[in-house]
Every structure is written in structure tokens, then in C-alpha cells.
Amino acid sequence: TSHGGCRRVPQPRAFPMTVKRAVELDLASRFQESLVCYQEGIDLLLQVVKGTKDEAKKQRYRQKISEYMTRAEDIKKYIEKEKQGVQPPLSCSHLNV
């Protein structure tokens, strides 16, 4: 099954496409699908970090992982509140790829 067009592709190059798709879905308020893409992007980036020897790159990757994890958590909370019938505002203004 497809989750909003995100597919697990085990290449480091797949990460930017996955995160770009996550942001596009996020901006389109398709939060459930964007959450899947963020999670897949985080997994891919973790694999990239493991295979990277350059400490400066690792630090940048970890920063991005942190940003995407924060956004994924925000989306999870939003989805939970939405299920309870509460629709809090969810800002996308801080998103960047």
C-alpha cells in the first residue's frame, strides 16, 4: 500500500525526495500522509548518519533529524486532538527543506 506517495528507498538520495513530499503534504494539510513521510525521511537520514564519517555532516544531519522529529510530534499531537473532536491550529510557517 502507498502512504501518500512515500516509498522506502534505501538510498541516501531518497531522503530529500521523501522530506520534500512530507513538506508538500504538510502544507496541503494532509497530516496523516505527511507524518508517514516524515517518519520515513527520519529513518533514511538515520541510515545516512550511520554511514557518514564526516562529523560536520553528521551534526547537520542530526539537526535536521531533530527538526523533522519535532514536526512529526506536532503532527501526531494534532491528529490525536482532531480524533477527539478538537481542531487546534497547526502552523507550517517554520518548514524548510
pLDDT of 74 reads: 95
Grouped pLDDT means (10 residues each) for the chain, 97 residues: 52 79 95 96 93 94 95 94 76 57
**What contacts 44, CB < 8 A, 6 or more positions away?**
8, 9, 10, 12, 14, 15, 18
How many angstroms separate the CA atoms of 80 and 78, rounded? 5
In DSSP terms, 3 is beta-bridged to 6
Given a contact cutoff of 8 angstroms between Cβ atoms, the answer to whether 44 and 14 are in contact is yes
Q: What is the C-alpha to C-alpha distance for residues 87 and 14, in angstroms, rounded to an integer?
A: 33
Q: Which domains does the chain have, with CATH numbers?
A: 14-83 (1.20.58.80)
Question: What is the predicted pLDDT for the residue at 9?
Answer: 44
CB 15 within 8 A of CB 51: no
